[in-house]
Structure 1
Amino acid sequence: MAVISEHHIFLSEDPSVGLQTRLKETITRAIWDGRFSPGDRLPATRALARHLGISRITVSLAYDSLVASGYVVPHARSGFFVADDAPNRRDTVGSATAVPDDQLDWSARLGPPPAALGSQAKTADWRRFQYPFIFGEPDLRHFPVDDWRDCARQALGKRYFERVADDAADRDDPMLLEQIIKRSISGRGVAAHVEEVLVTTGAQNALWLAARVLLAPDRAGAIVMEEPGYPELRNLLKALGAPVLPVPVDREGLIVDRIPPGTRVVFVTPSHQAPTGATMSMARREALLARAEAEDFIVVEDDYDYEMSYQSPGLPALKSLDQRGRVIYIGSFSKSVFPGLRLGYMTAPEPFVQHARALRTMMVRHPPGLTQRTAAYFLSAGHYNAHARRMRARMGRRHSVLRTALEAEGLHPAIRAAFGGASLWLKGPEGLDADQLAVDLRDRNMLIEPGSAFYAAQDPPKNYIRIGFSTIPTARIPEGITILAAAIRAQLAGM
């Protein structure tokens, strides 16, 4: 039950209709349209009369008329409430309403909508599936909720409440900036000062800001991204009108020799290539930076899950090898904390950060202060590093169980991820249609990610699957892979 504020009730300006009738019609329409719901309490007669500048008896008479018509019921000493069986548009004419012929044709005015998540979107009810082989969702059963709650309470403490409650304009929480520099990017070998770090609402926001700054229309040159690659980056670049050129990846990551002349920006995921999981070799990293210097292009490094290096120590970030300020480094807490946090960051030369900050300010001003300060406490208390260590150990066990289960069924990852990650890139037999397989497996209580969505090609290969294992319990992996393998064999047998 909600209490309807008197500020949500307005009277029409029709002088030919009495005040009582106008008030009754206003409330009736609100109930009919569903703005006032069954059980909601109407404003007190005195408060509503004072707000509308009319007499209290007029309000009382309007309420009595609403009671008589069945829209409102009185409760002794409690007031007037919207009746449980009050008529409303949805119950009477259904949820679909006719659109008048003279409505503005927005589809013609706007043109085709930007590309949506499509097949990469996780179903909203993914938690009900017994075998969710999906990427990007953590196993929240192991998240230190109590520690996070304590950090949130600290952030809401009276001593620092002004910090999180104030409009920070274009500024970031100084404590969070300090913690990002000391406890996050330092682990990747990156040194920076506060003017070179910008907090963003997740890595996707950071990618948009970087692209928006770099893709000025007066600058020539192609934009390179990996093939296969992150679909939402491709959609973002296309929405900005950028000429995107896909460059293939192999076991060592992006094939640097395939970058075309005249390139102005290269987007890469060197730690764990999205989606194959390949780690870019040191030779490739050095070659990429050498070409960037020789041909004067910029590199955007999306280090979305560097914490997941558990099989061997991770290689240093491209940004740590950058001597000329050509690398824009992007990090995120979505994979290591939880995706709903929507908190990321960008590390770049100060002039670049200033431009990105101005764009962010026009969009969202700054990420929520409470979120920033809570995350800062979470990092400063050591909870983040402890959680990351436990997560790496857990992912290492799941990775081992998954590989064993795949090999037992004669299935093998296309690229051996030497450093870790939270997914495997599986190449199925020739002729496999992973898109159809994903549909069929939903009836077997399983979710998988077909690989076709990661390709820019109009006719992408259909036999690749990204097998995520960040959220599925370890004990369910072998049985899930047995079901997956059986479904693959059944599809091929029916061809």
Structure 2
Amino acid sequence: MSAQEPVFEFPIHFDEGGDGQHQRTRRLHEQLRAAILDGRLAAGASLPSTRQAAAGLGIARNTVIAAYDLLIAEGYVLPRPGAKAVVAELAMRMHTRTQSQADAGADARLNPQWRQPAGLASSSRLLPPRNFRLGVPDHRHFPHAIWRRLMAQSLRAWSKTAFGYPPSEGIPVLREAIAKHVAFARAVACTAEDIVVTSGAQQAFDLLARLLVTPGETVVAVEEPGYPPVRAAFAAAGAKLLSVAVDDEGLCVERLPPGVRVISVTPSHQSPTGVALSLRRRAALLDYAREHDAVIIEDDYDGEFRYGGRPLDALQMLDREARVFYVGTFSKSLFPSLRKGFVVVPAWAREAFIAVKHIADSHCDTITQSVLAAFIRDGHLARHVRRMRPVYAARREALLAGLRTELAPWLEPIPSEAGLHLAARIRDPKQASRIIAKARQHVPGAQSIAEYAAATPEQPALVFGYGVIDEDAIAPALRQLREALEAG
């Protein structure tokens, strides 16, 4: 081995001018011990042999042997007969790293917004495969074979093209497919030129916050309760947030004060209550935006799944003054890890929005854009949505039936005609903590509406997702919850 070839993934330094063997042993020992303590040498990692290390560092082998012996004696390294020594697992190191991570939340070097990034609904709880978690569609009914075939076709086509950077706004064939899809499925008036592809709806919110907020000045109205990542994106951009109550007609538009410049709403299926913004409120919201020179962000995250009559027109379709940014996603209709969303951007903001997208994320990956474009263009998305609608509808009916019978003494369903979740008010707020605790135990994945609120809700409620829970598993779970509540 060359004396210049590194044997560790970090530099080992010796004093210039030539140390004696004792000093070199001490310095090697100290640097290896420091690397073990701070995790650069991970537990279980094999150390180079003494011969390897000596040759790579250009020092005597006896120096390396002596340094290794010290590490072994101190418990940092474990010897193995006939094999290389390995780094030991150290409680001290784990404690040091955990403490460092705990302290990081208050570090003044961080943006104040992220020193204690609270308020985001948790999705990290361990849940059984069939559960009541919100926002997750069922993978078992997805046309995996078709997606694999389209993926193979896209890879073959990609392999024959020169490397390059695709447009920040998305490849033309996907934007064309999205424009036709939302025009057909949601009556959204747009062309391919109006579409900007994003890495999911969450990136869309982040980009819109960057585009529309002047830090410390712009007042942004958000629903209360509402989708926490939207609130977080605008807060991080420096907006002055205004929480506006939601009732059975959606956002209480009459409570919007003068001076609001951006209004974020989920009009088709309010997140998380599930109510639809009434036609009266839609008209009032558009009137407010015109009178106060405000813009509206319309988040239509799962509006494709409807179970009642004809859906109310999208705000974007009713808008005559180009004040609505329409945000869509494929996370609910297809699958979350696809990470593809889009924004229908008014013409006056298009170039600026594309510039913000380019700075934040030069472009979405070309291959999955191509696959998604073909999936939409060939009619597979429309067919998949049609197939899944009755599946989800049956689960929704089973959930409603259980809420109206098994849990009627405690819960009152909130009217909802769309999406993959519904909510139920807790009839007696004094029992809310007990009911929520029992629900988490017996209907895993269900959430308190408080997880979506900036303040303690006046009317506590539970939210149930039915994207991945089997129809025949819903009634038994609700029955168990009833029995637990009856038992006290």
Please give the alpha-carbon distance, in whole angstroms, between the structure 1 residues aligned to 2:79 and 2:249. 71
Q: Is residue 438–residue 450 contact of structure 1 (8 Å, CA) maintained in 2?
A: yes
1:357 maps to 2:354: yes
1:155 maps to a residue whose letter is S
Greater alpha carbon shift after TM alignment, 464-473 vs 444-453: 444-453
Please give the alpha-carbon distance, in whole angstroms, between the structure 2 residues aligned to 1:205 and 1:413. 35
1:141 maps to 2:140: yes
SS across alignment from 2:264: strand
1:244 maps to 2:241: yes
State how many pairs are aligned.
Answer: 468
Please give the alpha-carbon distance, in whole angstroms, between the structure 2 residues aligned to 1:272 and 1:164. 43
Structure 1 pair 200/441, CA: closer, same or farther in 2 (3 Å)? Answer: same
Q: Deviations over 1:225-263 (max 9, x none)?
A: 223222222233333332333333333322333322333
SS across alignment from 1:226: strand
Residue equivalent to 2:300: 303
Residue equivalent to 1:122: 123
1:264 maps to 2:264: no
Please give the alpha-carbon distance, in whole angstroms, between the structure 2 residues aligned to 1:344 and 1:217. 26
Q: Is residue 199–residue 340 contact of structure 2 (8 Å, CA) maintained in 1?
A: yes
- Report the RMSD for the aligned CA atoms in angstroms: 3.9
Q: 2:483 aligns with which of 466, 483, 486?
A: 486
Greater alpha carbon shift after TM alignment, 392-401 vs 232-241: 232-241
Q: Deviations over 1:403-450 (max 9, x none)?
A: 111111252544311x32211110112134545544444444633200
TM-score (normalised: structure 1): 0.80
Q: Is residue 175–residue 193 contact of structure 2 (8 Å, CA) maintained in 1?
A: no
Offset, 1:145: 2.4
Offset, 1:155: 2.5
Q: 1:430 aligns with which of 385, 407, 428?
A: 428
Residue equivalent to 2:418: 420
SS across alignment from 2:332: coil
Please give the alpha-carbon distance, in whole angstroms, between the structure 2 residues aligned to 1:56 and 1:107. 39
Please give the alpha-carbon distance, in whole angstroms, between the structure 1 residues aligned to 2:172 and 2:46. 44
Structure 1 pair 146/117, CA: closer, same or farther in 2 (3 Å)? Answer: farther
Structure 1 pair 202/13, CA: closer, same or farther in 2 (3 Å)? Answer: farther
Offset, 1:27: 7.2
Please give the alpha-carbon distance, in whole angstroms, between the structure 1 residues aligned to 2:380 and 2:389. 14
SS across alignment from 2:477: helix
Residue equivalent to 2:180: 182
1:125 maps to a residue whose letter is L
Q: 1:406 aligns with which of 403, 406, 414?
A: 403
Q: Is residue 222–residue 263 contact of structure 2 (8 Å, CA) maintained in 1?
A: yes
Q: Is residue 231–residue 454 contact of structure 1 (8 Å, CA) maintained in 2?
A: yes
Q: Is residue 225–residue 267 contact of structure 1 (8 Å, CA) maintained in 2?
A: yes
Residue equivalent to 2:214: 216
Please give the alpha-carbon distance, in whole angstroms, between the structure 2 residues aligned to 1:114 and 1:269. 29
Structure 1 pair 289/91, CA: closer, same or farther in 2 (3 Å)? Answer: same
Please give the alpha-carbon distance, in whole angstroms, between the structure 1 residues aligned to 2:373 and 2:258. 43
Q: Deviations over 1:333-369 (max 9, x none)?
A: 1111122222211111234132222222222222233
Please give the alpha-carbon distance, in whole angstroms, between the structure 2 residues aligned to 1:61 and 1:223. 67
Q: Is residue 23–residue 62 contact of structure 1 (8 Å, CA) maintained in 2?
A: no
Offset, 1:402: 1.0
2:121 maps to a residue whose letter is Q
Q: Deviations over 1:192-219 (max 9, x none)?
A: 2333211112112111221222222486
Q: Is residue 151–residue 367 contact of structure 2 (8 Å, CA) maintained in 1?
A: yes
What does 1:63-74 correspond to in 2, within 5 Å?
65=65
Q: Is residue 450–residue 462 contact of structure 1 (8 Å, CA) maintained in 2?
A: no
Q: Is residue 441–residue 487 contact of structure 1 (8 Å, CA) maintained in 2?
A: no
Residue equivalent to 2:96: 97
Please give the alpha-carbon distance, in whole angstroms, between the structure 1 residues aligned to 2:44 and 2:60. 19
Q: Is residue 178–residue 194 contact of structure 1 (8 Å, CA) maintained in 2?
A: yes
1:385 maps to 2:386: no
Structure 1 pair 68/445, CA: closer, same or farther in 2 (3 Å)? Answer: same
Residue equivalent to 2:107: 107
Greater alpha carbon shift after TM alignment, 61-70 vs 440-449: 61-70
Q: Deviations over 1:71-112 (max 9, x none)?
A: 699999xxxx754xx233x33635112879xx9996244446
Please give the alpha-carbon distance, in whole angstroms, between the structure 2 residues aligned to 1:91 and 1:150. 49
Please give the alpha-carbon distance, in whole angstroms, between the structure 2 residues aligned to 1:397 and 1:119. 30
Structure 1 pair 196/273, CA: closer, same or farther in 2 (3 Å)? Answer: same
Residue equivalent to 1:372: 369
Structure 1 pair 484/182, CA: closer, same or farther in 2 (3 Å)? Answer: same
Greater alpha carbon shift after TM alignment, 266-275 vs 169-178: 169-178
SS across alignment from 2:386: helix
Residue equivalent to 1:166: 164
Structure 1 pair 30/145, CA: closer, same or farther in 2 (3 Å)? Answer: farther
Please give the alpha-carbon distance, in whole angstroms, between the structure 2 residues aligned to 1:174 and 1:109. 41
Offset, 1:382: 2.6
Q: Is residue 198–residue 347 contact of structure 1 (8 Å, CA) maintained in 2?
A: yes
Residue equivalent to 1:461: 458
1:204 maps to a residue whose letter is Q
Q: Is residue 451–residue 462 contact of structure 1 (8 Å, CA) maintained in 2?
A: no
Please give the alpha-carbon distance, in whole angstroms, between the structure 1 residues aligned to 2:418 and 2:487. 31
Q: Is residue 434–residue 450 contact of structure 1 (8 Å, CA) maintained in 2?
A: no
TM-score (normalised: structure 2): 0.81
Q: Deviations over 1:442-480 (max 9, x none)?
A: 4446332001233333x4236311111111111110011
List gaps (5 residues or longer) in structure 2. none
Please give the alpha-carbon distance, in whole angstroms, between the structure 1 residues aligned to 2:443 and 2:6. 46
Identity of aligned residues (%): 33
Q: Is residue 223–residue 263 contact of structure 1 (8 Å, CA) maintained in 2?
A: yes
